[in-house]
Amino acid sequence: MKLLKQLGVGKFHLGGISYGGFVAYRLAHLFPQAVERVVIISSGVCMVYQEKDELFRNNNSLAVADILLPQTPDNM
């Protein structure tokens, strides 16, 4: 964000492919005043329903935001 500020970029759109989608989601959460729109492309697209269910169970979560926005290093 410091570089963007130095370059005079105030607000911007952000996109992420694969794991970059998770990163884009996180940045939008951390800097809502700067990120206007987020495009998430193919993040977790190859997962089958059983894998998604297991991911939520392992993280004791019911919300996607809990997985995309971990609150502690242990949750990453």
Task: Summarize pLDDT for 3-57 with one digit per residue, the tens.
Answer: 988 999 999 999 999 888 888 988 998 999 999 999 988 876 667 778 777 877 7
Q: Is 0.85 topped by the overall pTM?
A: no
Residue 25 belongs to some domain of the structure? yes
Listed in sequence order, the residues at least 6 apart from 61 whose beta carbon sits closer than 8 Å to its beta carbon are 67
Residue 75 belongs to some domain of the structure? no
CB atoms near residue 38 (< 10 Å): 16
Note down the domain range covering 32. Answer: 2-69
Examine the pLDDT at 58 and tell me if it is beyond 90.
no
Q: How far apart are CA 45 and CA 27, in angstroms?
A: 20
What are the C-alpha distances in Å from 67 to residues 3, 5, 13? 27, 29, 22
Residue 64 belongs to some domain of the structure? yes
Examine the pLDDT at 65 and tell me if it is beyond 90.
no
pLDDT at residue 21 in the model:
86
Residue 76 belongs to some domain of the structure? no
